[in-house]
Structure 1
Amino acid sequence: MTAEKPRLHVLLAGPRGFCAGVDRAIRIVEEALKRHGAPVYVRHEIVHNRFVVEALERQGAVFVEELSEIPDDGRPVVFSAHGVPKTVPAEAARRQMYFLDATCPLVSKVHRAAEQDHARGRHLLLIGHAGHPEVVGTMGQLPEGAMTLVEDAEAARRVAPPPGAALTYTTQTTLSVDDTAEIVAILRERFPGIAEPAKESICYATTNRQAAVKAVAARSELVIVVGAPNSSNSVRLREVAERAGAQRAIMVQRGAELDPAFADGCATVGITAGASAPEVLVREVVDRLRERFEITVEEVTVAVEDVVFRTPPMRAVA
């Protein structure tokens, strides 16, 4: 007689997974492949998820880190959802490349706001993570020295902008809402005249996913975040879950990576997914837990998202 499986209640955070910017970027690559055939070159991972990247590679996408890796063969080139410095489209134009910009429209708004602040004579403090493609792209919108990166609260306490400069700040779109609030408070205290940005830079999807993981973490012994280790918003979800009451929070890229024994002794497990992780990977994780436990599933939804971004126009097939 087969032993009865222990029971486990699974809380699925909502919203989770793909945001509108990620969905748009993937659709741009897929549409380019449909219209023009393979290969379609993509500068940098279109989004930070190997499952997505490998699926597009099977369709004929070729991922590169720099334009110098792409031959002058007239094939389409797509820029990733994270955004690129101005030097990249300038180089593509110089080489007469046919390029499609898949930068998330909300990241593009940060770029345009940075340009406007620079035109007003303000020095920008950019709150974000050094080396992240979005930060590299945002800093690359302005001349060198026009923006100073502030990575964390400690950096905010010691940052030294140009003496006498009018200041404002902006942020990477995928930061921890709570961490950013702490950094902004420090900057306001140190620089009372700092100008407030016209709009919040942390995107709606980041804010909603962090609110949702807080809701499930408060009821869970373990939270599983489905996402890639180089995905900023996924890493932030794990950190938020740990601070919001979960005894443990772990990150896996897909179900095969999960040892279901991690949930031994738990009554309730929360699951969420970063904005670049497709729902099929969440289902893999649930199925992996089901191998060891008798599962009940509850959706915990804190917001309903209906944002859709249009794709840019594409050339007709020659």
Structure 2
Amino acid sequence: MLRPQEIVLAEPRGFCAGVDRAIEIVERAIEKFGAPIYVRHEIVHNTYVVNDLKAKGAIFIEELDDVPPGATLIFSAHGVSKAVQREAERRGFSIFDATCPLVTKVHVEVAKLAKEGYEFIMIGHKGHPEVEGTMGQLSEGIHLVEEVGDVAHVNPSQTEKLAVVTQTTLSVDDAAEISAAVKLRFPQIREPKQQDICYATQNRQDAIKVMSPQVDLVIVVGSPTSSNSNRLRELAVKLGTPGYMVDNADELKPEWFDGIARVGLTAGASAPEVLVKQVIERIKMLGATSVRKMDGIEETVKFPLPKGLKIDVGGLEISARSPETGR
């Protein structure tokens, strides 16, 4: 039986700047203020990262009722609604916002245009925390569409001032298809100056498009709750290459590799490199003899930490890195 001979590594893969920043905010808060630090929702959608931070002293909650008075509270990278924000402030928590700046950009755009009388169509997945956070920037006038068929059922109160926004972690191609349907029905709709889908989501999907035709199987490292990781696996399958998503190396099944010569490997934006290395070792145990890294875009984006969490060293504010999370 043919076993994998080569592992092809997608580039870029794994952590993006927003995830890097969110994890660092939690680590820095624990270091500066001591455990426990409370985090509303999983800081990022990755089991390994969440468990690592739990071990360091983070407590993950969904309801503000579970946060004791006077505690330090961090909002996850996905962002929160205005109602959650106001309630947290009312309760007097010490708050640090780890919302990805690219999600915040969408929130700012919604707030600005709403003041000008705009209603919104949001392209995204119902129930995803980012979608709840963005839609929760307004009490009304924002309509969710998940697929092309939903567009026909949107009934805004007016169409003169209508804008479209997008969840940042969607499939680029699916979002473009839904966006085209929106524009067909509402030709005057206002689109964002820069697309809402984030650079990291775009880059990882572009890498899959290049890699898929070169391999017999695609493995995506990512947790089931991770939207951008799910989209990578779906994209590989859509391109005609079998694809599986695993939370860790233990989830790999030997039968997946029967008759497979070349394995493509990538990781969602919330999956640390340490998990990729473990998956590589496991595939080597199944017979792979070489690892080749694809050429790809080198990401140099870095988002600053919130005030109050940077470390002052000799008059310079610096951000530290944690080897345990594979960054």
Under a length normalisation based on structure 1, what TM-score does the superposition of the two structures give? 0.94
- Cα gap change, 1:307 to 1:315, in 2 (>3 Å): closer
The Cα of 1:164 is off from its aligned counterpart by 4.1
38-47 or 288-297: bigger deviation? 288-297
Give yes or no for the alignment of 1:302 onto 2:299: no
| 8 Å CA contact retained: 2:28, 2:309 | no
Give yes or no for the alignment of 1:27 onto 2:24: yes
Q: Measure the CA separation in 2 of the matches of 1:236 and 1:5.
A: 29
Give yes or no for the alignment of 1:100 onto 2:69: no
Give the 3-state SS of the residue equivalent to 2:104 in structure 1: helix
The Cα of 1:158 is off from its aligned counterpart by 3.1
Aligned match of 1:63:
60
> What do the CA deviations read for 1:126-170 (whole angstroms, capped 9, x no partner)?
000000000000011112x21000111111233222244521101
Give yes or no for the alignment of 1:290 onto 2:284: yes
Q: Measure the CA separation in 2 of the matches of 1:10 and 1:310.
A: 35
Aligned match of 2:5:
8
The Cα of 1:302 is off from its aligned counterpart by 2.5
* Amino acid in structure 2 at the alignment position of 1:236: R
Give the 3-state SS of the residue equivalent to 1:196 in structure 2: coil
Aligned match of 2:43:
46
The Cα of 1:119 is off from its aligned counterpart by 1.4
| 8 Å CA contact retained: 2:141, 2:156 | no
Aligned match of 1:262:
256
* Amino acid in structure 2 at the alignment position of 1:126: M
| 8 Å CA contact retained: 1:212, 1:301 | no
* Percent identity of equivalent pairs: 51
Give the 3-state SS of the residue equivalent to 1:62 in structure 2: strand
Q: Measure the CA separation in 1 of the matches of 2:212 and 2:309.
A: 47
Give the 3-state SS of the residue equivalent to 1:297 in structure 2: strand
Q: CA RMSD in A?
A: 1.6
Aligned match of 2:317:
none
* Amino acid in structure 2 at the alignment position of 1:86: K
Q: Measure the CA separation in 2 of the matches of 1:199 and 1:213.
A: 23
Which of 128, 134, 141 is the equivalent residue of 2:137?
141
| 8 Å CA contact retained: 1:122, 1:166 | yes
Q: Measure the CA separation in 1 of the matches of 2:63 and 2:136.
A: 15
Return 5+ residue gaps in structure 2 as ranges. 312-327
Give yes or no for the alignment of 1:311 onto 2:305: yes
Under a length normalisation based on structure 2, what TM-score does the superposition of the two structures give? 0.92
Q: How many pairs does the alignment contain?
A: 311
* Amino acid in structure 1 at the alignment position of 2:42: E
Which of 246, 252, 259 is the equivalent residue of 1:252?
246
The Cα of 1:5 is off from its aligned counterpart by 8.7
Q: Measure the CA separation in 2 of the matches of 1:169 and 1:37.
A: 42
The Cα of 1:80 is off from its aligned counterpart by 0.3
